[in-house]
Amino acid sequence: MTRLVIVDDDAMVRTGLRLILGGEPDFDIVGEAEDGLRAMDVIRDLRPDVVLLDIRMPNQDGLTTTELLRAQPGPPRILVLTTFDADDMVLRALRLGADGFLLKDTPPPRMIEAVRAVATGEPVLSPSVARQVIAAATGGPGPALPQAREELGRLTERELEVAVEVAHGRSNAEIAERLYMSVATVKANITRIFAKLGTDNRVQVAMKVRDAGLL
């Protein structure tokens, strides 16, 4: 059973998410909060597996909340929700270690699938904006940094190939087709890449590839 907490200042959004997710047999919505300050107390008390977190809220926004949660031992998975597909705050949240983000108008089946994926450690980006987010994060080629090159040196040749494809914003299916791998093998490679680089999501991998001068 995956324990969920919903954090959004709009009561209608919280109700909608409860209706979408609450009927799934493997989800248990254990709590909700209307802003980041209240969320910290709720999450501390209830210890959810996944937090669905609005990015724009009064008192304490999702960005600050993400940073504070990631600084704690054993933090929950964080799935950021946003209304806008080019929201700079979303990009900053991903840099801070959020596990992914979805648009609030994501169809219910995709929303359910995304929560399940995040709960198992698989990062999620809305397909419609994944490339935009990664492009904004990398910002084009820059000077190669020795530290980034050293970190990428921990990867096998195949893992490095996958990391570069991730940095170009390609999906697991696209990477599998380009590198003649199964999707399951791509996922396994990405899991190892995250572990070796100490990253939490695809945006952070893309930034390291950029910093190493490989884009």
Residues 40 and 67 in one domain: yes
Residues 8 and 80 in one domain: yes
pLDDT tens, position by position, 84-141: 665 566 677 777 888 888 888 888 998 998 899 889 877 777 655 555 565 665 555 4
Query: Above 80 in pLDDT, residue 54?
Result: yes
Residues 167 and 98 in one domain: no
Query: Above 80 in pLDDT, residue 65?
Result: yes
The Cα 105–Cα 65 span in angstroms is 22
Range of the domain at 103: 2-128
Among 128, 156, 174, the domain-final residue is 128
Report CA torsion sign: 35, 85, 184, 202.
negative
pLDDT on residue 209: 87
- 3-state secondary structure (DSSP) of residue 80: strand
- 3-state secondary structure (DSSP) of residue 79: strand
Residues 113 and 145 in one domain: no
pLDDT on residue 9: 94
pLDDT on residue 138: 54
pLDDT on residue 128: 56
Greater model confidence, 202 or 71: 71
Number of domains in the chain: 2
Among 128, 160, 189, the domain-final residue is 128
pLDDT on residue 136: 60
Residues 147 and 113 in one domain: no
Query: Any idea which residue has 């929303």 for tokens?
Result: 111
CATH number for position 147: 1.10.10.10
C-alpha dihedral, 124 to 125 to 127 to 128, nearest 10°: 160
Residues 183 and 107 in one domain: no
CATH number for position 29: 3.40.50.2300
15-24, 87-96, 113-122, 198-207: the lowest-pLDDT one: 87-96
Q: Is 163 a member of any domain?
A: yes
Dump the DSSP string for 11-56: HHHHHHHHHHHTT-TTEEEEEEESSHHHHHHHHHHH--SEEEEESS
Q: How far, in whole angstroms, is CA 155 from its chain's centroid? A: 22
Greater model confidence, 12 or 212: 12
Q: Is 146 a member of any domain?
A: yes
- DSSP letter at 129 equals T
Does the predicted model carry a pTM greater than 0.75? Answer: no
Q: How far, in whole angstroms, is CA 137 from its chain's centroid? A: 13
CB-based contacts of 54: which residues, under 8 Å, 6+ apart?
7, 8, 9, 10, 13, 62, 80, 81, 82
Residues 145 and 113 in one domain: no
Query: Any idea which residue has 């609030």 for tokens?
Result: 104
pLDDT tens, position by position, 135-190: 665 555 455 578 888 899 999 999 999 999 988 878 788 899 999 999 999 999 99
The Cα 165–Cα 76 span in angstroms is 28
pLDDT on residue 6: 97
For the sheet containing 77-82, what is the strand order? 27-33, 2-7, 50-54, 77-82, 100-103, 124-125
60-64, 66-70, 204-208: the lowest-pLDDT one: 204-208
Average pLDDT, the chain: 86
Q: Is 134 a member of any domain?
A: no
Among 128, 159, 187, the domain-final residue is 128
Q: How far, in whole angstroms, is CA 200 from its chain's centroid? A: 7
pLDDT on residue 170: 80
Q: Is 133 a member of any domain?
A: no
